[in-house]
Structure 1
Amino acid sequence: MERVRTVLLRGIQREAMPGAVVCVRQRGETLWHEALGTTDGSAPTALATLYDLASITKPVAMASSICTLVEHGELTLTTPLTDFIPAASHLKDATLRHLLTHTSGLPAWIACYQDEGFGLDAAVRAISQLPLRGAPGTHYEYSCLNYILLAQVLETVTGTTVDRFAAEHVFAPLGLSEQLTYHPDPARSAPTISQEGPRSGETLAGVVHDGNARAICAEGRSVSGNAGLFGTAEAVARFGEAILHGGLFGSPTRQRWLLPQSTPPGHTLAFFCKPNGLTPTGDLLSDRAVGHSGFTGTALVLDPESGCVIVLLTNAVYVDNSKTEFLPLRRRFMNALAGTL
């Protein structure tokens, strides 16, 4: 892996991110697990460093919780959203499947907290007032708003919050309760700097970077389904293995996580997939590879063809030039890793 390691070290030198933790596993075997660089320019990274997973929260916490409820017979993917959120009447034709696959017609993002204030209820009110950009099931647009609404669905059905439900029904069965959490130890957490939401412009340690998720948490009762989870690279990799090779869901659910489920195509029940340009797989991994990325500088990739799970965690948003440097670096990293494998 030395060639791939060099790609990351050069990225650190070019200040694409302060550091990184990478974990690559293949059919239960760890091929590479290493901490490189620092978390803030001085403190060295560690294998146990907790990173803000950003939108990797969507598959690891939110989609997994919804699919658990489906397997338990508590939900169906074809249930209309308005069964849970009557105020969202313009989404009467949108189902839970549309929310999971980003085909509800909702726009990509709004600052929910600007007009409605803090908390999940406020965010849901803001989203419920938005005009659709296309009829549900006809228009794909990746949107954090879908997964904020899914958090409300889960609370309505279970009477508990996403962090509590996922901890009990997803993380604990996989033995990952200490490594995946919405409530991290700041001393173990790689810092970020956010320019949105409450406390924008501050250095955040153990506090979610995403502005909407931070505003939802600020109310003190709920968490969001779009972001907010922190985790180690190994824990995210082990979650990926549980999807790729079994351990969390039955085969029918697993297949729907690994194969296209959206119209138009480009999304499984939880991951980006071909031909979606958001799929963080680079140029050389197989066409069957699926995955998800996070705005903070994180990526989870599952390749059924090679049996590999690839996790790259960074806090790229801690540096000023992450947008121009990190995304090309991530593609080069995936390409070098695919070549090595």
Structure 2
Amino acid sequence: MRVDPKRLERAFGVVERFVGEGQIPGAVALVGLGEQVYGPRAYGWAALEPKRRPMEVETLFDLASLTKVVATAAIAWRLLDEGVIRLDDRACAFLPGYGAGERGASGAWKGEVTLRHLLTHTSGLAAWEPLAAVPGTPEERFRRLLTYPLQHRPGTRVVYSCLGYILLGRILTVVTGQPLDQLARELIFEPLGMQATGFCPPEAVRARTAATEHAPDLGRILEGIVHDENARALGGVAGNAGLFGTAADLARFAQEVLKALRGEEALWSPAVMALATRSLTPGMEEERGLGWQLSGGRPFSPAGDLFSPRSFGHTGFTGTSLWIDPDRELYAILLTNRVHPSRENQAHLRLRPLFHNGVAAAVLA
């Protein structure tokens, strides 16, 4: 397959238009087709407040929930390949006492929660709870999470749950005896050459991060400090959020995923990636693989209308997204700081599918 240059320019032009109209402060966009990489292209501003900084192609973004797939799920894929875990392992095997002694159906259900449930957002946990409001240390806040009741029986509904991925991240550390940020670095980022990607950027790096929202608890605009309140309350490293990275690094990740799906030697086996990108939640509210959100040709997908029904990806609350179309060997990365200076901005919800439509239209046989 090949790219129609004029149509690809129109796709990038969609991003440029949204920035030029002030709908989002800035963006970095990148498209890959097979071995060819187009971009990254930088538009607008990395920060408007407290001081304007232009966006650059190497700007670091708070990847928000892309953490779930680029770090947490990616580690789980490695451990599945290596025979360290299995999907039907129960959470209580790694977190002794999880649900034990709790009354009612919810308490009994907790003993049924498996890694499969956590990876596919079918654990029964609520979407979100304010862990940041729990007084005490990060460990005390995590312990509170263990007491939260389930909303429904595991395996019966898809409810996108940040809490489930926080729990999964902790389980991965228990299994390996290593902190989540170290696991991600050693198992994923270093092997793939993702040198700019990691948790808790050091002070020296924060000057080149895209600014996010004004944080009342800190009294300032966040730059290089995780936007997600719960991840921040857990010390900046969590299974649901906390990762910072660049478009170029995400391209390396996407290329490795496609290599595995082609059956080539890659960081993950073809077997695990085939499973990770297949719907494991048929008939439920949303099609989910192991970490990935699947397009399935459904309306209102962030992938837009023209990516193939087998496409998959993930989005992040700060305005980030990664989408992959294995039928075309195509991937699109769109990183924005739409929450700067306020999360009230919702323009990214329209920008994503419009950009993806333009990208898919640019691919020729």
Range of TM-score over shorter length: over 0.9
Identical positions, percent:
38
Change over 3 Å in CA distance of 1:138–1:194 after alignment to 2: farther
Other-structure match for 1:316: 338
One-letter identity of the residue aligned with 1:157: V
Mark the runs of 5 or more structure 1 residues left unpaired by the alignment: none
Q: Which stretch of the first structure deviates more once superposed, 133-142 or 26-35?
A: 26-35
- Please say if residues 100 and 269 of structure 1, whose CA atoms lie closer than 8 Å, have aligned partners that are also in contact: yes
Structure 2 residue 221 is the aligned partner of structure 1 residue 203: yes
Other-structure match for 1:255: 274
Instruction: Measure the CA separation in 1 of the matches of 2:163 and 2:22.
Output: 31
Instruction: Measure the CA separation in 2 of the matches of 1:168 and 1:39.
Output: 29
Structure 2 residue 196 is the aligned partner of structure 1 residue 186: no
One-letter identity of the residue aligned with 2:199: Y
Q: Deviations over 1:286-334 (max 9, x none)?
A: 1111000000000000101111111001111004475332211222111
Deviation at 1:17, TM superposition (A): 1.8
Instruction: Measure the CA separation in 2 of the matches of 1:284 and 1:126.
Output: 43
One-letter identity of the residue aligned with 1:292: H
Structure 2 residue 187 is the aligned partner of structure 1 residue 169: yes
Other-structure match for 1:70: 80
Instruction: Measure the CA separation in 2 of the matches of 1:96 and 1:277.
Output: 29
Q: Deviations over 1:174-195 (max 9, x none)?
A: 111x221113210121111155
* RMSD across aligned positions (CA): 1.9
Q: Which stretch of the first structure deviates more once superposed, 223-232 or 150-159?
A: 150-159
Instruction: Measure the CA separation in 1 of the matches of 2:60 and 2:227.
Output: 13
Other-structure match for 1:271: 292
One-letter identity of the residue aligned with 1:191: A
- Please say if residues 65 and 169 of structure 1, whose CA atoms lie closer than 8 Å, have aligned partners that are also in contact: yes
* Structure with the greater alpha carbon radius of gyration: 2
Deviation at 1:128, TM superposition (A): 1.9
Q: Deviations over 1:156-211 (max 9, x none)?
A: 112221110110111111111x2211132101211111558x42x62111110000
Change over 3 Å in CA distance of 1:143–1:278 after alignment to 2: farther
Secondary structure of the residue that 1:35 maps to in structure 2? strand
Mark the runs of 5 or more structure 2 residues left unpaired by the alignment: 1-7, 100-106, 261-265
Other-structure match for 1:52: 62
Instruction: Measure the CA separation in 2 of the matches of 1:104 and 1:323.
Output: 30
Q: Deviations over 1:109-145 (max 9, x none)?
A: 01112125341x3333222222222110111100100
Q: Deviations over 1:5-45 (max 9, x none)?
A: 22112211332321111111111211332111110133221
- Please say if residues 15 and 321 of structure 1, whose CA atoms lie closer than 8 Å, have aligned partners that are also in contact: no
Q: Which stretch of the first structure deviates more once superposed, 314-323 or 33-42?
A: 314-323
What TM-score results when the alignment is normalised by the length of structure 2? 0.86
Secondary structure of the residue that 1:244 maps to in structure 2? helix
Instruction: Measure the CA separation in 1 of the matches of 2:294 and 2:27.
Output: 24
- Please say if residues 112 and 122 of structure 1, whose CA atoms lie closer than 8 Å, have aligned partners that are also in contact: no
Other-structure match for 1:286: 308
